[in-house]
Structure 1
Amino acid sequence: MDLRAVRGDITQADTDVIVNAANPGLLGGGGVDGAIHRAGGPEILAECRAIASRLPGARLPRGQAVATTAGRLPARWVVHTAGPIWSATRDHSAVLRSCYTERLRAADGLGAHSVAFPAISAGVYGWPLDDAARQAVAGVRAASVEHVQEVRFVLFDDRALDAFLAALED
């Protein structure tokens, strides 16, 4: 599997799957989640609402995922995951790694050959960027997949890109 980090806009990633760093309510919001909903259009929100209505408390548990259409995005599917909130007192690293491992397996189950990931939990959820990058790379490398041949970490700024490039070199 080819792993790479690039600077760019994940909503423009020409991959089979775009992973969304969603909020548990699945209804869009800020950051990557809001950008994906805005660029993908109402089809994504309609599917997310239907899925959320079937979830306990209408919320996606952190570390789990659901797949929807990609709407107007260049991808075929969006796999939504709710990452953990960073804590200085509780170690949620396994949950963050599973956001990558399990989302990659979900994409593989769809028959996807290429997947684009953002830096899950490294924005408003406060995960320190260098560690978020290490957890992401470890999570992807731990996944056993059959179809996925390419994973791109699509990062919004140079600081995130540098952190992911360093994690890929380790």
Structure 2
Amino acid sequence: MPALIEKMMQRFKQIDAERMQGLPFYNVNLQVEALGFEEIAEGYIGALITPWFINLMLLFKQQPQKAVVVGSKVAHTLPSGIYDFMVGEDEELGRYDFISLASPVSIYKTQQQAQAFAMQRLRNYLTSVNAEQVDEHPLVFVDRNEKKVSRRGFLSGNT
């Protein structure tokens, strides 16, 4: 296992032991585990299971130079499309970007259930979409700042 992934595992095990155990959303049936990490240009991408979340994690080999606010969203291109990742930061790990796959994780009764879920979601993100699927289901980008039209406005022509 690459040192960066091992460092992440050790850090989240430390957070588990020092801060998380005993909290109401903590699932005693799960443990910290890194799954399916692959090397990519920026660093490593894979799934992280903890007793309080399952995340898709992007760890950077070298910390990005561009300053971004923790908690903000940044877009990353994966084989299956473009996704918004949240920016996280830890004093020992530095910046990492993530997508929450499950939180809380109380529905998982065993580590194996969490592993199966995490690996399926990871495969979905890291598998290319073929051209036929893209043609059948084109991406639609929505401007979230666009003024919403009320039903009454639409029916009366005041859009």
Which structure shows the higher helix fraction? 1
Q: Could you say which structure has the larger radius of gyration? A: 2
Which structure shows the higher strand fraction? 2
Q: What TM-score comes out, normalization by structure 1 length?
A: 0.23
Q: Which has the higher contact order (CA 8 A, sep 6+)?
A: 1
Q: What TM-score comes out, normalization by structure 2 length?
A: 0.24
